[in-house]
Amino acid sequence: MTLSLGVIGLGRMAQLILRSLFEAGQFKSEDVIGVVGHPRSIKSAAKYFSTNFDIVDAKDSKATQVWDLPVKLLAVKPQQLSQIKENCTSLIQSASDQKPLLISILAGVKLDRLQTLFPSHACVRAVPNTPALVGSGVTGLAWGDDVSANQQKLVLEFFHPISKVYELPEEQLDAFLALTSSGPAYLALVSEALADGAVAAGLPRNLSNTLTHATIEGTVRLLKEKELHPGQLKDMVASPAGTTIRALRHLEKEGVRSALIEAVVLAAKRSRELS
């Protein structure tokens, strides 16, 4: 069966998901409508795709057609959600015994709010992260009550090409977001600081950046391939009275471990507050 898709909001993550769907042949260009907030955004969004499909701004009369499609990807900014109004006809529901599907990638917007705002839809909450932009992301999914088995399968096909997918109870999504969505920023900060340290110790900037990235990448690969606990790897590197244990002692004294723990906890708390 050929399905049609409406994409409400065409930011970077929505662009990535849609492009992967086109590349996999999941949707035909004539069966997709993208909606952006302003006419000037149409051209910039279209540049990302090699496939031509309808992109309209929210005030265009064609934008209302999105609500008669069986699948929607909701990808606006959370603060724009109140401007979006469900406008379904009975046609889409009479053609099937299941509700049309709404997949939301809005941070912090819970299923009960989505289902209140979009009562004619079966809603799914998805939390992808930015490494999905290079096909190395992780996505957390929480299912609404009315999502059918076939719809679940379709949602998994949205995210598998760009990420590993974890199906979770919704109450775990705030912690998932705090680790995986905010985590790249924590690691970028650590990466920048390590490279700055190498520059301070005498290496040129470009080499410091390159070596920092290689060290992080190699460490992650070692942990995964050898199935090591991080503490095991730390003990492998830290020899008695050596350079590493002296550096680790300083990090512990400065509370780096505690600061990272609290960063994740505070981000999860903020996600709950925003919802």
CATH number at residue 129: 3.40.50.720
Give the domain range for residue 159.
5-170
Instruction: List C-alpha distances in Å: 138 to 126, 146, 157, 176, 189.
Output: 10, 24, 14, 10, 20
Of 240 and 80, the structure prediction assigns the larger pLDDT to 240
Asked if residue 8 lies in contact with residue 101, where contact means CB atoms within 8 angstroms, the answer is no
Largest CA distance in the chain: 74
Q: How many domains are contained in the chain?
A: 2
Q: What's the CA gap between 97 and 70, in Å, rounded?
A: 12
Q: What pLDDT, on a 0 to 100 scale, did the predictor assign at position 108?
A: 86
Q: Enumerate the β-bridge partners of residue 55.
A: 34
Per-residue confidence at 92, pLDDT binned at 50, 70, 90?
Answer: very low
| Of 23-27, 136-140, 170-174, 219-223, minimum mean pLDDT range | 23-27
Instruction: List C-alpha distances in Å: 28 to 25, 79, 85, 92, 128.
Output: 7, 31, 26, 19, 24
Q: What pLDDT, on a 0 to 100 scale, did the predictor assign at position 257?
A: 97
Quickly list H helices, 67-107: 90-94
Within-domain flag for 175 = no
> What is the CATH classification number for the domain harbouring 223?
1.10.3730.10
Tokens encoding 271: 């996600």
Cβ count near 164 (within 10 Å):
12
Of 78 and 180, the structure prediction assigns the larger pLDDT to 180
Q: Strand order of the sheet with strand 163-167?
A: 54-57, 32-36, 5-8, 71-74, 101-104, 122-128, 137-143, 163-167
Question: Is the per-residue pLDDT at 90 higher than 70?
Answer: no
164/190 same-domain check: no
Is residue 127 helix, strand or coil?
A: strand
Within-domain flag for 176 = no
Q: What pLDDT, on a 0 to 100 scale, did the predictor assign at position 2?
A: 64
Q: What percent of the chain has pLDDT over 90?
A: 79
71/136 same-domain check: yes
Asked if residue 17 lies in contact with residue 73, where contact means CB atoms within 8 angstroms, the answer is yes
Give tens-digit pLDDT for 131-168.
999 999 999 999 999 999 999 999 999 999 999 999 99
Query: Of the residues 139, 170, 201, which one is the last residue of a structural domain?
Result: 170
58/108 same-domain check: yes
> Taking all residues of the chain, what is their mean pLDDT, rounded to a whole number?
92
User: What pTM did the predictor assign?
Assistant: 0.89
31/116 same-domain check: yes
The full DSSP string for 68-79 is: GSSEEEE-S-GG
Q: What's the CA gap between 55 and 99, in Å, rounded?
A: 25
Per-residue confidence at 238, pLDDT binned at 50, 70, 90?
Answer: very high
Q: What's the CA gap between 152 and 254, in Å, rounded?
A: 46
166/187 same-domain check: no
138/219 same-domain check: no
The full DSSP string for 191-218 is: HHHHHHHHHHHT--HHHHHHHHHHHHHH
Residue appearing with tokens 């109004």: 85
Q: What's the CA gap between 272 and 174, in Å, rounded?
A: 6
86/47 same-domain check: yes
143/215 same-domain check: no
Question: Is the per-residue pLDDT at 91 higher than 80?
Answer: no
Per-residue confidence at 94, pLDDT binned at 50, 70, 90?
Answer: very low
Give tens-digit pLDDT for 17-61.
999 999 888 899 999 999 998 899 999 999 989 889 999 998 888
27/141 same-domain check: yes
91/117 same-domain check: yes
